[in-house]
Structure 1
Amino acid sequence: MKKAIFTLAIGDNPMYKAALESFQAYADKVGADLIVSDKLHFHINIKDPIYSASPAWPEKLFTAELLKDYDRILYLDADILVTPHARNIFEEYTDLETVYMFDEGRHLNRDLPISQINEALGPADNWQTVDGKQSYYNFGMFLVSKECKLFQLATLEGMQKVCNTVKFYDQTYINYIIQKHNIPNQCVDAEFNRMEFLGQENYKKASFIHYAGRGYRIKCPSREIRYVDDYCELYPEKVTAQERQQMKLSAWNLFIKNLSKKSYVPQMLLHIIGKPTLGRQWL
Structure 2
Amino acid sequence: MKSHARADEDAKNRYGADYATEFCDLIQTFAATASTFLEWGSGETTKLLCQIAETRPAPFVLTIDHNLIYQKTVAELLPRYEFLHLRCFDLQGPSYCQADTFPSYSSYPKTLGLTFDVVLVDGRRRVECALVAFQILSENGIVLLHDYRRTRYAPMMCLFETVYAGNQFLVLRQMKKLLCCNTRSSFTMRRRYAVAVTVRGERAQREFDLTHTFTKQYAASIEADFFVVGENSSLPVHRLKSVAAELLHTYDRLLLLDADVVIRPQAPNIFDVVPDNMLGAYPEGLFFPRKDWCSELNVLYELTDPIQEHEYFNSGVLVISQQHVALLESLGTDVVFGHPQFEQGFLNIKRKSANIPLYALSQDFNFIPNTSVQPTDWRYAFFYHLAGSGKGKRLHTRVWSIADEWPMTYTKRDLTAADTRVTLIREVCLQIVGVECKVFDASDFYYNDSQAFPLINAAGVLIARFPEKKCSGFLELAVFGPYCDLRSGRWRLQYFDPDGVGLYFPSAELEVSSSATETIIISRRPWPEDGIFEFYVEEKIIGVEFKIFRRGQGVDFENVRLTRVAD
**1:34-49 alignment, distance < 5 Å:** 34-43=226-235
Shift of 1:147: 1.8
Aligned CA distance change for structure 1 residues 18 and 26 (closer, same or farther; 3 Å): same
Q: CA RMSD in A?
A: 3.3
1:66 to partner: Cα distance: 1.1
Distance 1:62 1:254 in 2: 35
Write the distance in 2 (CA, Å) between the matches of 1:119 and 1:25. Answer: 42
**Count of equivalent residues:** 248
Note the residue ranges of structure 1 that are not aligned, 5 or more in a row. Answer: 44-54, 238-243
Distance change in 2, residues 1:67/1:149 (3 Å):
closer
Map 1:10-29; keep pairs closer than 5 Å.
10-13=200-203, 14-29=206-221
Are 1:195 and 2:368 an aligned pair? yes
Q: Secondary structure at the match of 1:147?
A: helix
Percent identity, please.
Answer: 21
Secondary structure of the structure 2 residue equivalent to 1:67: helix
CA shift in 2, pair 1:220/1:36, >3 Å = farther
Q: Do the aligned partners of residues 27 and 253 (structure 1) sit closer, same or farther apart at CA in structure 2, a change above 3 Å counting? A: farther
CA contact (8 A) 2:210 2:426 kept: yes
Cα pair 2:369 2:376 within 8 Å, conserved: no
Q: For 1:119 and 1:268, locate their aligned partners in 2 and report how far apart those are by CA, in whole Å.
A: 50
Contact 1:58 1:159 in 2 (8 A): no
1-side partners of 2:331 and 2:208: how far apart? 27
Cα gap change, 1:87/1:219 in structure 2, threshold over 3 Å: closer, same or farther? farther
Aligned partner of 1:137 among 291, 313, 326: 313
| 8 Å CA contact retained: 2:262, 2:429 | yes
Question: How does the TM-score come out when normalised to structure 1?
Answer: 0.75
Is 1:121–2:297 an aligned residue pair? no
Name whichever structure is richer in helix by fraction: 1
Which of residues 151, 154, 167 in structure 1 aligns to 2:340? 167
Q: CA deviation at 1:19?
A: 0.8
Partner of residue 76 from structure 1, selected from 257, 274, 279: 257
Higher relative contact order (CA 8 A, sep 6+): 1
Structure 2: runs of 5 or more not aligned: 1-190, 396-419, 445-453, 468-476, 483-494, 496-545, 547-558, 562-567
Question: Mean Cα displacement is larger for which, 75-84 or 227-236?
Answer: 227-236
Bigger Cα Rg:
2
Q: Deviations over 1:191-242 (max 9, x none)?
A: 1000113422643341100111225x356983321210111122369xxxxx
Corresponding residue of 1:49:
none
Does residue 210 (structure 1) correspond to residue 385 (structure 2)? The answer is yes
Contact 2:245 2:325 in 1 (8 A): no
Which residue pairs with 2:285 in the alignment?
105
Q: Which secondary structure state, in structure 2, belongs to the residue aligned with residue 73 of structure 1?
A: strand
Residue of structure 2 in register with 1:52 after alignment: none
C-alpha deviation, 1:149, in angstroms: 5.0
Find the aligned partners of 1:211 and 1:158 in 2 and give their Cα distance. Answer: 28
Pick closer, same or farther for the CA change 1:155–1:201 going to 2, 3 Å.
closer
Provide the residue aligned with 1:146 in structure 2: 322
Cα gap change, 1:226 to 1:220, in 2 (>3 Å): farther
Q: How far apart in 2 are the matches of 1:218 and 1:259?
A: 24
Please identify which structure carries the higher strand content. 2
Kept in 1: contact 2:279–2:359 (CA 8 A) = yes
- After TM superposition, the score normalised by the length of structure 2 is 0.39
Distance 1:152 1:232, change over 3 A: closer
Q: Residue in 2 aligned with 1:91?
A: 272
